[in-house]
Structure 1
């Protein structure tokens, strides 16, 4: 049984994510934290007839310490959402400081927790969280994850649409590697569990890579992909709960991790990439300690190799931006 904490629980992602975690029977304690409204969100969720006891905290009265004490799973969706015309890089200017401060709280009050980072841009915020934990001497790369599950969910849904049968969307499995923004998102359609007909799939790849823009445009200034991201975050959290806290074996999910979390698998993947990256979204096997094994790319097409090469270029910049933010101490 797990104590889960959501940092940023009152926001567009945080509220539906908290609802989905409350509905998870493996969660027996649910702590919520945000700068506003969390007591009310907690009161609302506490009326739901599932096992989790819910508590909501604000910054006052050491709220961050109280919510994180005893936490085993910490999910961080905190930050502002994207607005029309805003890139994930624009988001960095605001969300970097939020992640830095929350990571410091995790380091002090829940250093052994599994940390799931949703706050965008993930390619930079995961390195930020990692650097802060290093500064506090509590960094374990096996326990820090960037949540890229929305890219996987979109790929499954869009492929099912292409096949003309949305009922397949829960069955379709498409590995998505790289990162979690634009061209760093690389769907390996050649490895789809449900192959597509031969042809040019560039339009489908572009839709998977920039699906967030589709939602931002459709909401017309009223928000971003909050509901689908909450669903994806809850799915990934459940995978961690099943693999790290349950008895289930062989759970493999794509996630943005430090490749040092599995030295042999990480080094092998770096050779495949032809690049010395510290972080990459790969297929990761989850065990009791978190990252158990990092899997390689597998058999990819020439076109997919080109997509991976483009992703690596942007990833290097994104990762360095996060690291330098912490080392420089300012935006």
Structure 2
């Protein structure tokens, strides 16, 4: 994708923190031996921010779940918003969850900017020109220009992005599904922005 020279790829984020919060909370509730705070940074989601584009990465925690429990957890993380809307009888969305996610992301951003500390985060970003993109799997970079990945935040924006080194086969399968859906979603977004406004 060709971008304007003024497009600040290091400073534009699609916040997927909500998906990470849900994963931490739901897994913590299931395990009952660790808090959601204990799982921060140890488990996270990559891919996108809707349904099957959300890919939970559990690292070693996968072994604490049966196959059915794993599938149920993945589904709950991917469709957690639907769960909230259903609980509210269709009369609202996950506003408190979104506020908490925004607070966490902005707090990390401010820590990076004000304190000059490099902070670990996960965000949906444009992969163009970012440090670390050359080390990402080509099956991602050849398919999409945007993807949610772990990244390092500094006062200047994104220092680098990375791909989890210990993705398991189930997670690879979910990434494949996510990429197919993301391609269509990204195309819709690009067409909306670049298309006629009337």
TM-score for the superposition, normalised by structure 2: 0.89
Higher relative contact order (CA 8 A, sep 6+): 2
Match of 2:100 in 1: 231
Alignment of 1:76-91 (within 5 A): none
What is the rounded CA distance, in whole Å, between the counterparts of 1:309 and 1:220 in structure 2?
Answer: 33
8 Å Cα contact 2:47-2:148 kept in structure 1? yes
Aligned equivalent of 1:241, options 110, 116, 119: 110
Q: Which has the larger radius of gyration?
A: 1
What is the rounded CA distance, in whole Å, between the counterparts of 2:65 and 2:85 in structure 1?
Answer: 31
Match of 1:311 in 2: 178
- Give how far 1:229 is off: 0.6
Q: Which runs of 5+ in 2 are unaligned?
A: none
Count of matched residue positions in the alignment of Structure 1 and Structure 2? 193
- Give how far 1:145 is off: 0.3
What is the rounded CA distance, in whole Å, between the counterparts of 1:209 and 1:275 in structure 2?
Answer: 24
- Give how far 1:274 is off: 6.4
8 Å Cα contact 1:149-1:254 kept in structure 2? yes
Match of 1:286 in 2: 153
Aligned equivalent of 1:180, options 40, 49, 55: 49
CA deviations over 1:168-225 (Å, ceiling 9, x no partner) = 1111131210010000000012x15x55524211111000000000000001122000
What is the rounded CA distance, in whole Å, between the counterparts of 2:14 and 2:141 in structure 1?
Answer: 22
Match of 1:150 in 2: 18
Match of 1:46 in 2: none
Structure-2 change in CA distance of 1:299 and 1:253 (3 Å): same
The yes-or-no answer on 1:252 pairing with 2:116 is: no
- Give how far 1:261 is off: 4.4
Match of 1:299 in 2: 166
Q: Which runs of 5+ in 1 are unaligned?
A: 1-126
Match of 2:133 in 1: 266
What is the rounded CA distance, in whole Å, between the counterparts of 2:18 and 2:141 in structure 1?
Answer: 26
- Give how far 1:275 is off: 3.1
CA RMSD of aligned residues (A): 2.1
The yes-or-no answer on 1:171 pairing with 2:21 is: no
Structure-2 change in CA distance of 1:215 and 1:261 (3 Å): farther
Q: Partner of 1:205: helix, strand, or coil?
A: helix
TM-score for the superposition, normalised by structure 1: 0.55
CA deviations over 1:26-45 (Å, ceiling 9, x no partner) = xxxxxxxxxxxxxxxxxxxx
Q: Partner of 1:260: helix, strand, or coil?
A: coil
CA deviations over 1:96-155 (Å, ceiling 9, x no partner) = xxxxxxxxxxxxxxxxxxxxxxxxxxxxxxx9xxx7xx4xx6311101000100100000
Q: Partner of 1:216: helix, strand, or coil?
A: helix
Structure 1 stretches (4+) deviating beyond 2 angstroms? 272-276
- Give how far 1:238 is off: 0.8
